[in-house]
Structure 1
Amino acid sequence: MSFAFGFTDEDLNDVDIHDTKVEPTSKGKIESALETFNVLPEHQPRIHCLSSILQTLEGVRLTFDNYITAGGHIVYRRELYDVKHQIMMEEKDVSSKLSELLIERNDADVQSNVYEGGFKSWECSFDVVDAIHAVTEKSGLLNSSILELGCGTALPSCYIIKRKFEERDHRSMSLLVSDFNFEVLRLVTIPNIMINWASTLAVEELHRLTTDEVNSRFENNEVFITKELIQEFEKQLQLYNVQIVPVSGSWGREFNQLVGQYKIDFIISSETIYSPDTLPVVAESIKNILENAGTTHGQALIAAKNIYFGVGGSVVDFLTYLNSIKNSHFEIEVKEIADSSLRRSLITIEYK
């Protein structure tokens, strides 16, 4: 069953998170969602080699567009039709189910345990970019271990990478980008990160790295991925002490253990609380990852529409569940955004 996440204020004007008192749902012991959440063998989380993904992009011309957020910050994103073209041109069999959803039907935003919407950029990801800008202005985010949970097109991570190289910041930073589908990581997440990094290069340098006698075309909305461009990207990642870690598979206890080795102190998650089945898993995972990171100060930034009609998740349900499991080390702040036809919220979770 397919559905869309676009709702109007007319649909949402009876839902106000500030009118809802958020309290634990039970005074007794709450059954852990992480303990009961079943992860199928084929969906076990896995860390992938960035270099191996980059090699699959060599010889691909990425067509992209630029997007300006409400706060005036620019990010770049690969065009969806360009992704579809690559899938059709490849000899290898990209997941036939994903190919059907993306190309043949083109009508499914999410299909549980098959595809979780990663090829599209959802509205709240732009809110996160603006929030990330504010965080980088007043904190050491560019010197953190960051996890984008359910990254998809990864616009927040792209903005972080863009800022990192624009500011020539050499402090150590780890960036974990996780999505349910490996093909999302390969076809949009990593390409988008490369595009945003490439935007920080001088035009003359980018021209030199992306053209040769055979491929001489140079457009301002395309990046041709050459061996030389990949080498320069990997070289600059080392130079600026940036580690990019792609992670595929399902959330759950195994996922938290896998990413736990990176001592995450900042979590980003956008449009991931739409399902009542996984909403508790997101809440518990944030708490679990920050508690086990060994940091004295951790933070999570969660962006969501106030309510997801037809699906069941909501900001109120997420806050209710989070308050039922948190302890005194966690502080929660909610900022509502109503600057368009969508009522959305940014939830900041501080761990101290």
Structure 2
Amino acid sequence: MAFKFNFTVDELDLDEADNQPQSLETSLNDLSLTEADLNKVPCQSYDVSNSPLPRVIQADILNIPNVDVPIFKRTLADVKFQMAEQDTLLDSTEQQQITGEDGQNVLDMLDLTGNSDLVRGVYEGGFKTWECSIDLVQWLSSLPDEAIQGKRILEIGCGSALPSLYLLARHEENIVDVQDYNDQVIRLITLPNILLNTVLSPQEPTAALANGDQIDVSSDDDDNIGNDPTEEKNGNDDDDDDDDDEEEKDQVMEDPVTCDAEAELPSDKLPKMLQQVQQRTEAFVGDWEGLPTQLTKKYDMLITSETIYAEHSLPDLIRVFQKALVKPNGIG
């Protein structure tokens, strides 16, 4: 099995980096860390059946060219609203465990999504929807049914998990497991997205200010991918960035519904919903180094996109492929 990154340095878009020299310098400093300096998150299985969820999930619909399966993706504004809402519920010990330091970590990660994208060994970019994941969905949709039907699949570095969502929605027989470095990403983005695209039936949002605009990923405007929807809809026409930031915070608190669809999660039905998810999806969190020891089954297909940015990570990723793929016909 051989693969390569099919692009050149000249093809990379450096415009945004040129406009943010400080962010670029920070990112380069992150990349300069040695392996010994990293305090890696140990890999472990994530308990899908007991994952906490909000009462309502708000989502945007990704309009991917040549893909006939609609994909619902939770908005980052909804994640921020959940963190703010939970932060007010301090009477419950359980809520304190969910919020507190962890809640601040989530907000810090969301802030990074619009700046340096990641911090090695701390946050690996899972809240951002990376452009190549959309390319991967398009490629998967071009395959014949027999190539992706009734398969056991693992997505590595899943984040929003768009390819997994497509494979789960395309064929009910598929078993699709997911892995991300951060458990916050699995809890707040990956699992809600899986619910939206498999178990739940998203409806039009109920709030009067909700607009039905879909995200058109065929556009050349990459800012639509991986950013807070409130930034997309409220910040483009205003030159005052500071005012926009304050306005976004107010909107997250006062009017979180800036989405295409929403789905309710009745508390009495949550256990059954999560059980349905668990029947088709197992989740893992943490570093790739320990992932092979956590895997108890072989996969017909391993998928990943925009996951390698540091050379030291490549051997761990290769070991996952060697351990996890069915031999001799597994595809990666």
User: Are 1:58 and 1:226, in contact at CA under 8 Å, matched by a contact in 2?
Assistant: no
CA shift, 1:88, in A, is 2.3
With structure 1 as the length reference, what TM-score do the two structures score? 0.59
Query: Residues 103, 226 of structure 1: CA spacing in aligned structure 2 closer, same or farther, 3 A cutoff?
Result: farther
Which amino acid in structure 1 is aligned with residue 162 of structure 2?
L
Question: What is the aligned partner in structure 2 of residue 62 from structure 1?
Answer: 57
Question: What is the aligned partner in structure 2 of residue 194 from structure 1?
Answer: 195
Q: Secondary structure at the match of 2:115?
A: coil
Question: What is the aligned partner in structure 1 of residue 118 from structure 2?
Answer: 110
User: Are 2:38 and 2:120, in contact at CA under 8 Å, matched by a contact in 1?
Assistant: no
> How far apart, in 2, do the equivalents of 1:180 and 1:256 lie?
14
User: Are 2:43 and 2:284, in contact at CA under 8 Å, matched by a contact in 1?
Assistant: yes
User: Are 2:112 and 2:118, in contact at CA under 8 Å, matched by a contact in 1?
Assistant: no
> How far apart, in 2, do the equivalents of 1:235 and 1:249 lie?
23
2:326 is equivalent to residue 297 of structure 1 = no
With structure 2 as the length reference, what TM-score do the two structures score? 0.63
CA shift, 1:42, in A, is 5.9
CA shift, 1:117, in A, is 0.5
CA shift, 1:127, in A, is 1.1
What pairs with 1:228-267 in structure 2 (closer than 5 Å)? Answer: 228-231=268-271, 233-234=273-274, 236=276, 242-252=279-289, 254-259=290-295, 261-267=296-302
Alignment equivalent of 2:165, drawn from 154, 158, 172: 158
Q: Which has the higher helix share?
A: 2
Which amino acid in structure 1 is aligned with residue 314 of structure 2?
L
Question: What is the aligned partner in structure 2 of residue 227 from structure 1?
Answer: 267
User: Are 2:113 and 2:128, in contact at CA under 8 Å, matched by a contact in 1?
Assistant: no
Question: What is the aligned partner in structure 2 of residue 32 from structure 1?
Answer: none
* Structure 1 gaps, min length 5: 1-7, 14-35, 208-216, 301-352
Query: Residues 41, 10 of structure 1: CA spacing in aligned structure 2 closer, same or farther, 3 A cutoff?
Result: closer
TM-superposition CA deviations, 1:59-117 (whole Å, max 9, x none): 2x211111122323431111111111212222422253442232489523010001010
Q: Secondary structure at the match of 1:184?
A: helix
Question: What is the aligned partner in structure 2 of residue 52 from structure 1?
Answer: 50
> How far apart, in 2, do the equivalents of 1:10 and 1:282 lie?
23
User: Are 1:39 and 1:250, in contact at CA under 8 Å, matched by a contact in 2?
Assistant: no
Query: Residues 182, 237 of structure 1: CA spacing in aligned structure 2 closer, same or farther, 3 A cutoff?
Result: closer
> How far apart, in 2, do the equivalents of 1:39 and 1:229 lie?
44
Query: Residues 183, 189 of structure 1: CA spacing in aligned structure 2 closer, same or farther, 3 A cutoff?
Result: same
> How far apart, in 1, do the equivalents of 2:168 and 2:81 lie?
26
TM-superposition CA deviations, 1:166-196 (whole Å, max 9, x none): xxx4x4x432110000000000000011111
Please, what is the CA RMSD of the aligned residues?
A: 3.3
Question: What is the aligned partner in structure 1 of residue 41 from structure 2?
Answer: 43
Return 62-71 or 148-157, whichever deviates more.
62-71
What pairs with 1:1-352 in structure 2 (closer than 5 Å)? Answer: 11-12=10-11, 43-53=41-51, 56-59=52-55, 61-73=56-68, 74-91=70-87, 92-93=99-100, 94=102, 96-103=104-111, 106-135=114-143, 137-139=145-147, 141-164=148-171, 169=172, 171=173, 173-198=174-199, 201=201, 221-231=261-271, 233-234=273-274, 236=276, 242-252=279-289, 254-259=290-295, 261-290=296-325, 293=326, 295-300=327-332
**What percentage of aligned pairs have identical amino acids?**
28
How many residues get paired? 239
Return 77-86 or 228-237, whichever deviates more.
228-237
Higher relative contact order (CA 8 A, sep 6+): 2
CA shift, 1:146, in A, is 1.1
> How far apart, in 1, do the equivalents of 2:291 and 2:264 lie?
34
Query: Residues 229, 196 of structure 1: CA spacing in aligned structure 2 closer, same or farther, 3 A cutoff?
Result: farther
Q: Which has the higher strand share?
A: 1
Query: Residues 131, 115 of structure 1: CA spacing in aligned structure 2 closer, same or farther, 3 A cutoff?
Result: same
> How far apart, in 1, do the equivalents of 2:63 and 2:109 lie?
28
> How far apart, in 2, do the equivalents of 1:245 and 1:39 lie?
30
Q: Secondary structure at the match of 1:298?
A: coil
> How far apart, in 2, do the equivalents of 1:267 and 1:68 lie?
24
Which amino acid in structure 1 is aligned with residue 48 of structure 2?
L
> How far apart, in 2, do the equivalents of 1:107 and 1:89 lie?
25
Query: Residues 298, 105 of structure 1: CA spacing in aligned structure 2 closer, same or farther, 3 A cutoff?
Result: closer
